[in-house]
Chain A
């Protein structure tokens, strides 16, 4: 059995990347004589969620509840996942390659005495079970042998497209209320602050992100790109150079050590496209780059590009948007 951790959003729906992980699990199942794909959800399982997971071919939805898992703790939640895994006898445990997914799978693997592969893109064989995963922020790949059982890994964002199954699964909900050892609850979230509207939550969820990099040239030179951001109803994302220079706050940083975004449209202005940054924005569906250097990696990797000084181009775009009657 393949056990997939399904993370839910604030509304209780499965996140897109979790559905990608389920899809990956199904592909694995298909290659492995159709071993069943189960999901584990910590928290409530709404009827919509159950329905979605059924559509994705999930056989059983293991719903973990109880006071011990009400607040997040890495060790506690991992303990619960392993309880499910033992009960259901899974040989593979996986999650989406989110911060939390990576953290929980690290706990699960350690507790189970297994290796853990983060950010897997594909698998190339079952015996031995060899996965290819992203390293160096996605700029390089690593083939890794996951020989232990359970095989524990996370699936890199957008490694596969989330697709419902041809044949729906039963998605039978089985409730678990495991008792968690007290030592696994020591490192536990004691309070959660609502994300401020302009913080990174908005950035990762934004459909349009306007990017700003070294080419902007200074903290006082962001008016044009902020105006464009407003006109597009999007969020501002910046490169590491910008936050290191103190021009913008860190929560706006997109990149390997900042937020990873996957908007419909990304408009990087004056960003050359170093690996550190590309690691955070490569999932954008469309990239429209504005850059003075036609050879910059960001330009060559973009869908569209405009070459020139962003401080001339961006105001012209803003004016054109207004001229055509759009307002932000």
Chain B
């Protein structure tokens, strides 16, 4: 048994699939002096990897998760531990068939071989399945099973053989020492290790270890029930561990996976059974392992019945017995994504809430990220920095995972909102919004009006121009009021709550240098200028796009989207230069947007300040006094627009925000102004203008050039990603972000259908397109453009298709709809010369 070394460059805590993949990739990337710890014995220390069902379905609606899965499969194959079995997701209902068609869309978008098949096709491959129970299936021949323990052992032992790694099993981490914001030491029951880097990769125990350093790793251990029935005579004599495709019975939230002569039945249908990490039994207290808890039959019984319905002859065969049944623990998070990356404690990383299907991909991505600051697969949605304070509460994780567990195999609408643990953050004008019938969506914990029922009268008024949607799925979490609000904004003006913006100040002698080296755009501008800028990683991929205001010689204010705000704050904080401080302002500053042709009239009637185009030009900001019922309030006005109209973002102290809101609405009323929701700001207004959004069009795998956002010049000052960006400018783009319009919405049934995003773009006859990265085009944003009377799609296309007028098709629910390329750069379809913003 190896002793615990006194020092290490990097300590990896955990020897499950994640820890093992990570040490392998770190060693491959040249890291040495790595120490891997686990509280349990090898090769199966008793975590979730040890009892995983080990099958891998390839297609997820999330590109990030799918890419991690595909990379993992490639790695498992290379290790020789992958057995291809094929897999079905079967539907018992027409509603599920629609969802499976949507999966087909994702499969095409992510380049996965897949097919919609008949019950007969399923039964031919899985003869013991009762085809009369199902109406169809989604078939992926590339689905398979892996030996995750074996894979982990090979990877770990490879790192040991390379002289990079010392693994110490049976050692318990009892503390993490943080000094000056950096990790210094791992304390164990067998001695302390001084370390430069520490990675918490111990799955369901990660929160407990994170707490030792004051780092929240908000995952919860949750039970997934699994039984094994056998030996089944129908399966006897099959060679190897799997010879029949795996069946996911999506409507009953079950899967059936053959394992030798046994059939494993797993369930996600039971109530969410969650646990605190501290309550997980020790190895000594456990009958099987700490993550294989006693089976609770009553939770499983309904699923057993449904499984029996589907495979009566197999599961009811003579001699087939339930020989193994567990409540297996796995990790869940509030948003379903893993938790990866460096915490606010420097040098302390985590790779947690990762399942076997993503393990090796995550290992590679995190190792790359630790080595070079970025990873080939963008894992921004999994960044630990994404969590807001309210999300770090255990209660939040508990409530959200309780709500989402049952949706593991559920049909989840892309815009679906959570119901639990809402109302965490409210704008000062929340009461007014509620009275106006706001339909709230949640962003970063904020309750944000998506549209206002009080504007329902406008729908009548605008008639067909609001582009009503007749299909329930297309109109779920949507309202024609959004389009009515949009039209009213273009006609008069709209007032919108943008309080969810993350706002922070960079101040001090080093402020200029700090923002200069973080932002692509020139930040050495006059005080009072507003800068819109991409933020890149060292590889020239997008970290963010945001606005920066120069409020003083040594004072900048950064304003970014709420959802991605904490990650941006961490990024800026990590790149402060010289004497500079970062101060969070989000909870002090409320933001109200005022846009539309009447915006200037409205603001002018409330202020003495010169708000003319000359007096207050585009991309400038300054403090003005605005009259409200309670007296004048100080407002930082910033003349920019994300909706293509004249107007301002008005930043105001929290306590003054409600008064300002009321004043704008009251004054605006005489001009036909209405409150408008984020539906306009986030979708309709922006796509008419071709504005890109981080997380949709922009991510770390995309470049400024591909997004069509390059400016004629690159500033001389250095910034993160500059070299990469300069190189990108020299090369011809491998893919081009284009704006397309849908030419005909009529489906085979005659119902008009409206895409929601994520759909594959194909040739007119359904042929596959492939860009220079080997990716297939898909819709990054879809939405109504009411002022154009068109449904607009944004998508990256291969350069050869990126020509205005190119006729293509979008596949929606397995039907093709004609589309035409309308713009191949950032040129707006609506008001391309930006006349209206003057």
Contact = CB atoms under 8 A, between A and B. Distances in A.
Q: Answer whether A and B touch in the complex at a CB cut-off of 8 Å.
A: yes
B834 interface: no
A293 B283 CA distance: 12
B58 to A, nearest CB: 34
A294 B1 contact: yes
Nearest to B1: A294
Interface in A288-319: 292-295, 297, 307
A193 to B, nearest CB: 32
Nearest to B172: A295
B170 A294 contact: yes
A294 B3 CA distance: 12
Interface string B8-46: 000000000000000000000000000000000100000
Contacts of B284: 297
A307 B41 CA distance: 12
Contacts of B283: 295
Contacts of A292: 41
Dominant SS at the B interface? Answer: loop
Contacts, number: 10
A197 to B, nearest CB: 34
A292 B170 CA distance: 12
Contacts of A307: 1
Residue among A293, A295, A297 with max Cβ neighbours from chain B (10 Å): A295
A292 B169 CA distance: 11
Interface in A259-300: 292-295, 297
A308 to B, nearest CB: 10
Contacts of B1: 294, 307
Contacts of A295: 41, 170, 283
A40 B170 CA distance: 53
Contacts of B41: 292-293, 295
B678 to A, nearest CB: 55
A309 to B, nearest CB: 12
A257 to B, nearest CB: 15
Q: How many A residues are at the interface, by size bracket?
A: under 10
A323 B310 CA distance: 62
Interface in B412-466: none
A258 to B, nearest CB: 18
Main secondary structure of the interface of A (DSSP, over half): loop
Nearest to A294: B1
Contacts of B170: 293-295
A137 to B, nearest CB: 14
A59 to B, nearest CB: 48
Nearest to A296: B41
B763 to A, nearest CB: 57
A178 B1 CA distance: 65
A225 B653 CA distance: 79
A112 B283 CA distance: 46
B38 to A, nearest CB: 11
Nearest to B41: A293
Interface string B278-291: 00000110000000
A296 to B, nearest CB: 8
Nearest to A293: B41
Contacts of A297: 284
A12 to B, nearest CB: 44
Contacts of A294: 1, 170
Nearest to A273: B284
A293 B284 CA distance: 13
A48 to B, nearest CB: 47
B776 to A, nearest CB: 47
Interface string A224-247: 000000000000000000000000
B156 to A, nearest CB: 16
A237 to B, nearest CB: 22
A104 B1 CA distance: 50
A206 to B, nearest CB: 29
A293 B1 CA distance: 9
Contacts of A293: 41, 170
B260 to A, nearest CB: 14
A290 to B, nearest CB: 15
* Interface core residue of A293, A294, A297 (most chain B CB under 10 Å): A293
Interface in B142-193: 170
A307 B1 CA distance: 8
A307 B170 CA distance: 13
B323 to A, nearest CB: 10
A270 to B, nearest CB: 13
B153 to A, nearest CB: 14
B15 to A, nearest CB: 14
Nearest to A295: B170
A294 B283 CA distance: 13
Nearest to B39: A295
Nearest to B171: A295
A10 to B, nearest CB: 39
A293 B170 CA distance: 8
Interface in B283-306: 283-284
B171 to A, nearest CB: 9
A274 B597 CA distance: 79
B350 to A, nearest CB: 26
A312 to B, nearest CB: 16
A294 B284 CA distance: 13
A76 to B, nearest CB: 41
B666 to A, nearest CB: 73
A293 B39 CA distance: 12
A279 B453 CA distance: 71
A293 B289 CA distance: 14
Interface string B578-591: 00000000000000
A295 B283 CA distance: 10
Interface of A: 292-295, 297, 307
10 contacts: A292-B41, A293-B41, A293-B170, A294-B1, A294-B170, A295-B41, A295-B170, A295-B283, A297-B284, A307-B1
The 5 closest A-B pairs by CB, nearest first: A295-B170, A293-B41, A294-B1, A294-B170, A307-B1
Given A295-B283, A297-B284, 4 more contacts: A292-B41, A293-B41, A294-B170, A295-B170
